[in-house]
Amino acid sequence: MTPNTAVSAVSFPAPEQGLRFWWLRQILRRYPDDEGTVTLRHRRIYLLPTKRGLVFLFTVALMLLVSLNYAISLGFVITFLWLGVFAATLTHTFRNLFGMKLSAISAGHTFAGGSLAFTVSIDSGDHERERVQLTVEEAPSQYFDLPAASTRLITLTKPTYRRGRLPMGRLTVATEAPLGLWRAWSYVHFPLEGLVFPAPEVAPPSLPQGVDPQGGTGMGRVGNEDLAGLREYQRGDPLQRVAWKAVARGVGWYTKAFEGGEGRHFIHLDYSSLPGALDTEMRLSRLTAWVLLCEREGRPFALTLPQASLPLRKGVAHSEEALTLLALFRSDGAGGKR
C-alpha cells in the first residue's frame, strides 16, 4: 500500500458530527442499559449555567467593571456578594440530584395512536428534592417535589404511531432549583419496553363463523348451553337467538347470550381467510377488533396467523395473548417476534 493510499483510507468525522454527537456517544457507551436501581453520583451528574445564569454572570461582570472604573467600594461589596450567591447555588443545584435513586417499575400497553405509560420509582434519599424534572423523548415533562426519605412513582406517557415494541428510551433527570442559575441533569437508560397493539378497525364486519368439530358451522347451535343474559342485537346475529318476546313487548332488539358449549360455538379468526384486498395492517386491525369483540361478549375464539396460532379459549389472558401476537406479527412470516 502506498502512502497516498494509506492516507486516503482514513475517515474523518463530518463537520456536522461535532461535539454534541461525540458527547452523546460517550454517554450512551458508558451507560447503555441501567439495571436495577440507579443512584445518581458525581460521574453521572452534569452541570452548566442556564441562560438566566449567564445573564446574571454578565450583569455581575458589568458591575465589577463599573466598580473598578469609578472605585465604588459599595459596588465591590455587592459584586462579590452576588458572585458568592452564584457559586453557592451551584452546590445546591448539584445536591438537589446527588444521591437520588431511580428504579424502573413497569411499562404498559396500548393501541396504536394512543399513549403508552412508563412508570419509574424515585427515592429522595436523605435530602429533600425540589422542582425535579423527568423527561423522555416525545413525552411531556413531569415536575415534582420530594420530601427527605420518601419514595414516589412517576408515570411518563409517550405517543404511539405504529404497533410493536416501544422502548422508553433515554430518561433525563434535571433540576434548576433553587434560583434557576444552574442546570444539573443526568441520563438514565432503563431497558424498559412497552407493547403497542394494532389499532382496532372502527366498524368491523360481523364475526366469522367457527367450524363445528362435529361438522357444519356452530354459530346457531345452542345444545346444552346456559342462558347468560341479553345483549343488544348486532347485525349478523342468528335469528334463532333473537329475544322475540322483548321485541314483541316493544322493548327493543336483543340477542340471547349463552355460556358453556365451547366445543359447539366458537369463533375462528384466520389471517389467511381475510379478503385479499386488505393489506397486512388492515388485516391486523380487523383481527384486533374481532378479538376485542369476542372478549366483550365472552365468546371463545381461536386465532390463526402465518406460523403462529392460538387454540380455542376465552378470557382476558387469552385476548391479551392474541393481541400480543398481532402486535409482534411480521409480514415475512416470522409470526410473533419483532
* Confidence check: pLDDT of 143 > 80: yes
175-231 residue pLDDT tens:
999 999 999 999 999 999 999 999 999 989 988 865 544 444 444 343 445 565 677
Within 8 A by CB and 6+ apart from 22, the residues are none
Please give the Cα distance from 131 to 140 (Å, whole number): 15
Cell matching residue 271: 389471517
Are 165 and 176 in contact, with CB atoms under 8 Å apart?
no
Average pLDDT over residues 5-28: 55
Question: Domains in the chain, please, with CATH?
Answer: 19-44+96-196 (2.60.40), 260-327 (no CATH)
Give dist(CA 173, CA 40) in Å, integer.
Answer: 10
Helix axes 280-297, 316-327, angle to 10 degrees: 170
Q: What pLDDT shows up at residue 226? A: 55
> How many residues comprise the chain?
338
Going from the C-alpha of 312 to that of each of 118, 253, 300, 315, the distances in angstroms are 32, 29, 6, 11
When comparing pLDDT for 198 and 34, which is higher?
Answer: 198
**pLDDT exceeds cutoff 90 at 153:** yes
Q: What are the angstrom distances between the C-alpha of 230 and each of 148, 233, 315?
A: 55, 9, 19
Say if CB 160 and CB 178 are below 8 A apart. Answer: no
Q: How many CB atoms lie within 10 A of CB 309?
A: 14
| Distance, CA of 314 to CA of 260 (rounded, Å) | 11
Instruction: Say if residues 274 and 208 touch (Cβ distance below 8 Å).
Output: no
pLDDT at position 47 is: 96
pLDDT at position 249 is 72
Residue 6 has pLDDT above 50, yes or no: no
d(CA 324, CA 314): 15
**Three-class DSSP category at 112:** coil
The band of 9, judged by pLDDT with boundaries at 50, 70 and 90, is very low
| 286-304 tens-digit pLDDT | 999 999 999 888 888 999 9
Spatial CB neighbours of 300, under 8 Å, sequence gap ≥ 6 = 262, 265, 266, 267, 294, 312, 313, 314
- Residue partners of 236: CB distance under 8 A and separation at least 6: 205, 206, 207
Q: Which residue in 237, 310, 240 sits closest to 268, CA to CA?
A: 310
CA distance 70 to 7: 59
Please check the confidence at residue 261 and state whether its pLDDT lies above 50.
no
Q: Would you place residue 307 in the very low, low, confident or very high pLDDT band (cuts 50, 70, 90)? A: confident
